[in-house]
Structure 1
Amino acid sequence: MSASGTITRRAFAGGALALALTGKTFAQGFAGLGEHAEGFAAVTPGKPFIFPVDHGPHPEFRIEWWYVTANLSDAGGAAYGAQWTLFRQAMKPGGPSEGWANQQVWMGHAAVTSATTHRFSETFARGGVGQAGVEAPPFRAWIDAWEMQGLNDFDAQRVAPLELKASAADFSTALRLDADRALVLQGDHGYSRKSDRGQASYYYSQPFYKASGRIVIDDRPVDVTGVAWMDREWSSQPLAADQTGWDWFSLHLPGDEKLMLYRLRQKDGRENLFGNWITPDGRSAEIAASGNSITPTATAEIDGRKLPTSWRVALPARGLAIETTPVNPKAWMGTSFPYWEGPIRFTGSHAGIGYLEMTGY
């Protein structure tokens, strides 16, 4: 089912499958990602990443996603954002079953954002029947008519060039993504720790995309250019049971430096901070958990919830002290698992653009 409210048999079946799949997880939202995951593969340090194979699915793990966010602008300088996400989740461990008995459920989210408008859509599909999936090589990720695929001369180390398409009743996105540098392993060489109790994911990004193409909002086409960021993660238990959600930033800094930073919130009010600083040549260094901070500075009332949409980010050892503001404070994804996701700007010691995602509110 998309945000337009149109219901198809496939969307209904997908929604029912998602309910059956997630159970308590669905009710708890992102906090449910901390449930036990017996029978699924474990994330351990020291994994050798192999491309293009690791661009494809890892069905032995419970949860996985292919996630692109783009900071865009039109010829007049007006800011826009675009999101394209494909999620995979396994209903149970074990080898794949055939056809409709396949235990993999796929969920797609897409959105476009301007200063005054936020449009989003959601769709579900079952694995095993061709409605959704990921292939590599050649690289192709799809759910229904939404598609992200490698173009001619696709380079598995750069995950580029790519063509990205999504459409709904009130918006569409068609972008080309190019990159001249290799992807980046996040965390400790791709092992991204989420807690001190063993929760972790495998995580890599392509933060160096240049984007060009067209978005359409309410039948109004806009030609856009900008930068984009892909995140790839897979895990079987990415949160601990007492972690309620996260606040995640991807920031494009001056001089083509990049920063990925997030805090994981706990039920007792404590938080864990993780991130990586990425140099223009693609070297990635973990951010120390101590001495750095992400602090809310302003909130907005959205869908009956109070969310911190403006932030202060401080990394003293890197000389970074910035204030972030959203392009559109109302960038709420009212999907089955609701969350906030939208483009941001920042000023201070560094000025630039990026994306913010907040879950579990």
Structure 2
Amino acid sequence: MSGNGAITRRSFAAGALLAGLSGNALAQGFAGLGESAGGFEAVVPGRAFSFPADHGPHPAFRIEWWYVTANLVDSGGTAYGAQWTLFRQAVAAGAPQQGWANQQIWMGHAAVTRADTHRYAQTFARGGIGQAGVEASPFHAWIDAWEMRGRDAIDDNNIAPLELSAAGADFSYALRLDAEHPLVLQGDGGYSRKSLREQASYYYSQPYYQVKGSIVIDDKPADVSGQAWLDREWSSQPLAADQSGWDWLSLHLAAGDKLMLYRMRQTDGQHYGSGKWFARDGSTQQLASADITMTPQAFTDIEGRKIPTAWRIAIPKLAFAIDCTPLNPRSWMGTSFPYWEGPIHFGGSHTGLGYLEMTGY
């Protein structure tokens, strides 16, 4: 609410989102994502992906996101991270309604990270009134003035080039993302299981972006370049009721390979893991839960939470064993549904950079 007690459209949207995920929903894993998804479309194996259509929204499903993380460096060698995320959440099933009756709530998160600081911002919008949305072709995702927009020469199979921009009270960035390699499907042809039961998402990525642009922190600009990773996921129930959250990594190996890993934390301690290796020659290898060991090595106390910010990752069948260290262990997103998200570097059998996300702590 504003200082005079008037309800703004942003606070109304935020309140509607929280109301839609209140009560029992908030008890169902991180952000209520383990809540029953009755009435929404189910994720099933064998989907035929179609681009550019699948770059756009899927309102028959309950939740989806357009998610970019970037590992960047300036001309003096200072490392940065940047995050841009647009979430769509349906608070009720059914055909999309017009105007203020629309069931879609949009939420944007943006952040920049440096070793000595982490800045983030959050914004909300109600669907149906043009304040936020995604258009598949020509590609354009936005919430208020934050944008991810395809350039005129965009290749729908690469979803590049893109221009990315966002701003908070004390930071901003404007980045251009280019890619020469096509998108990759996660899981089994884009069907990504999240448990041994029916929980799953449709999931594809663009892990091959090369980035140039600028970051401004406290009115001080820096020209930056580096690598970025786009994740696109949509689902109706990505968590089981006994899963509290996840630990997810996207890794850019120095040799040019890419690796995605996640661990869905279960209350009985029998965590469900998955991953996929994308080799330089274009081959891929799916990784099962039994293939992956993720072991916390150090913790950071943040807002009364004990967050595992350093990890040892082992995949014996790939002779892969690394230790991951955060650029800034206090990369906490103190948003409506708080989580940890920040850039990392790693060494051991392989070296490189990446991003770590941890929810539900």
TM tier, smaller: over 0.9
- Is the Cα contact below 8 Å between 1:31 and 1:243 reproduced in 2? no
* Structure 2 residue aligned with 1:43: 43
Q: Quick check: 2:65–2:232 contact (8 Å CA) kept in 1?
A: yes
Quick one: distance in 2 between partners of 1:317 and 1:309? Answer: 25
1:262·1:275 contact (CA, 8 Å) conserved in 2? yes
Please tell me whether the aligned partners of residues 28 and 35 of structure 2 are also in contact (alpha carbons under 8 angstroms). no
Q: Provide the residue aligned with 2:98 in structure 1.
A: 98
Offset from partner CA, 1:55-109 (integer Å, 9 cap, x none) = 0000000000000000000011111000000000101111011101100000000
When structure 1 is superposed on structure 2, of 23-32 and 61-70 the one drifting more is 23-32
CA distance in 2, matches of 1:131, 1:27: 30
- Deviation string 1:141-174 (CA, Å, 9 cap, x unpaired) is 0000000010021000001000001011100010
Structure 1 CA distance for aligned equivalents of residues 46 and 264 of structure 2: 23
Query: Secondary structure at the residue paired with 1:290?
Result: helix
Matches for 1:240-255 after TM superposition, within 5 Å: 240-255=240-255
Quote the residue 2:110 is aligned against: 110
Structure 1 residues 282 and 173: CA distance shift in structure 2, 3 A: farther
Deviation at 1:28, TM superposition (A): 5.8
Which residue pairs with 1:4 in the alignment? none
Corresponding position: 1:136 with 2:140: no
- For residues 291 and 192 of structure 1, the distance between their equivalents in structure 2, rounded to whole angstroms, comes to 16
> Deviations for 1:183-227, whole angstroms, at most 9, x for unmatched residues?
000001100000111100000000000011001111111110000
**1:187 and 1:193 in contact (8 A); partners too:** yes
* 1:1-361 to 2 correspondences below 5 Å: 9-24=8-23, 25-26=25-26, 30=30, 32-361=32-361
Q: 1:143/1:8 Cα in 2 relative to 1: closer, same or farther (>3 Å)? A: farther
1:26 deviates by: 4.2
- The alpha carbon displacement at 1:29 in A equals 6.1
What number of residue pairs does the alignment pair up? Answer: 356
Identity, % of aligned positions: 65
Unaligned runs of 5+ in 2: none
Tell me, yes or no, if the aligned pair for 2:59 and 2:90 is still in contact at 8 Å: yes
Q: CA deviation at 1:268?
A: 1.4
- Cα distance in structure 1, aligned partners of 2:111 and 2:190: 28
**In 2, Cα distance between equivalents of 1:125 and 1:249:** 28
Q: What amino acid sits opposite 1:331 in the alignment?
A: S
3-state DSSP of counterpart to 1:256 = coil
Distance 1:96 1:31, change over 3 A: closer
* Cα displacement string for residues 328-353 of structure 1 (whole angstroms, at most 9, x for unaligned residues): 00000000000000000000000110
The 1:8/1:118 distance shift into structure 2, 3 A limit, reads: farther
- Supply the distance in 2 between the matched residues of 1:265 and 1:279 (Cα, whole angstroms): 27
Q: What is the CA-CA distance between 1:246 and the residue it aligns to? A: 0.4
Q: Distance in 2 between matches of 1:73 and 1:58?
A: 35
Distance in 2 between residues matched to 1:26 and 1:139, nearest whole Å: 33
Name the TM-score, length of structure 2 as normaliser: 0.96
Residue-by-residue CA offset, 1:207-264 (whole Å, 9 max, x unaligned)? 0000110011111111100000000000000010000000000000122100000101
- Classify 1:137/1:281 alpha carbon distance in 2 versus 1 (closer, same or farther; 3 Å): farther
Over the residues paired in the alignment, what is the CA RMSD in angstroms? Answer: 1.3
User: 275-284 vs 113-122, which deviates more?
Assistant: 275-284
Secondary structure (helix, strand or coil) at the match of 2:107 reads: strand
Give secondary structure in 1 for the equivalent of 2:33: helix
> Using the alignment, how far apart are the partners of 1:339 and 1:95 within structure 2?
31
Contact 1:184 1:284 in 2 (8 A): no
Q: For the residues of structure 2 that align with 1:193 and 1:282, how far apart are their CA atoms?
A: 23
What are the ranges of 5 or more consecutive residues in structure 1 without an aligned counterpart?
Answer: 2-6
